[in-house]
Amino acid sequence: MKRKNKETTSKARETPHEADVAEILKKLQAQGLKRTQTLVRLLKFMATERRPHTLVELAASQGLEERNPVTLYRMMIKLERADVVRRVNLRERAQHFELLLPGSVPDYLVCTKCGDLKQVETPPEIDTLKNLVTETTGWKNLRHELEFFGICPRCTA
């Protein structure tokens, strides 16, 4: 890996959401969380690998290998409280966590047989619904969580 990238042409693939991570760290520090190496690595990993992860996966991720899962779990709880990660309900015993990045939250199809996960485009109707709810309730900064459960093509075959 290069340490400094000049002008990257293929942004989406190369840039590990540095700006997003920096912003999240700023927010966390404002809330009194310490900027530790583990925290920075964790956020970078979650920003780059944008999908729900179990703690086991995270503990085994690069740079975090020797971390204690309990420490990781405690950190995750703090991040959840700070609205930086969300817990994704995948109907499995293991908890999954996903980083909340600016913009829309990805929605998922979840296979109830093999646990496979597929990101799906959020239907535009959801935004219409969100706006309607904002108007009728006066609540602000709404976000939604949507998971579709079903059987994937591989398990159907």
Which one among 116, 117, 122, 147 touches Zn ion, defined by CB under 5 A? Answer: 116
Closest CA to 97 of 74, 113, 120, 122: 74
Query: CB of 131 within 8 A of CB of 72?
Result: no
Q: At what angle do helices 37-48 and 69-81 cross, to 10 degrees?
A: 70
Which one among 27, 35, 50, 113 touches Zn ion, defined by CB under 5 A? Answer: 113
Helices of type H across the chain: 11-14, 18-30, 37-48, 55-59, 69-81, 124-137, 153-156
Using the rule CB under 5 A, is 111 a contact of Zn ion? yes
Using the rule CB under 5 A, is 146 a contact of Zn ion? no
End-to-end Cα, the chain, rounded Å: 40
Give the footprint of Zn ion on residues 32-91 (CB under 5 A): none
Total residues at interface with Zn ion (CB under 5 A): 6
Which region among 11-19, 71-79, 114-122, 126-134 touches Zn ion (by CB under 5 A)? 114-122
Which region among 14-22, 61-69, 103-111, 127-135 touches Zn ion (by CB under 5 A)? 103-111
Distance CA 147, CA 3 (A): 38
Which region among 18-26, 100-108, 127-135, 145-153 touches Zn ion (by CB under 5 A)? 145-153
Contact footprint for Zn ion (CB under 5 A)? 111, 113-114, 116, 152, 155
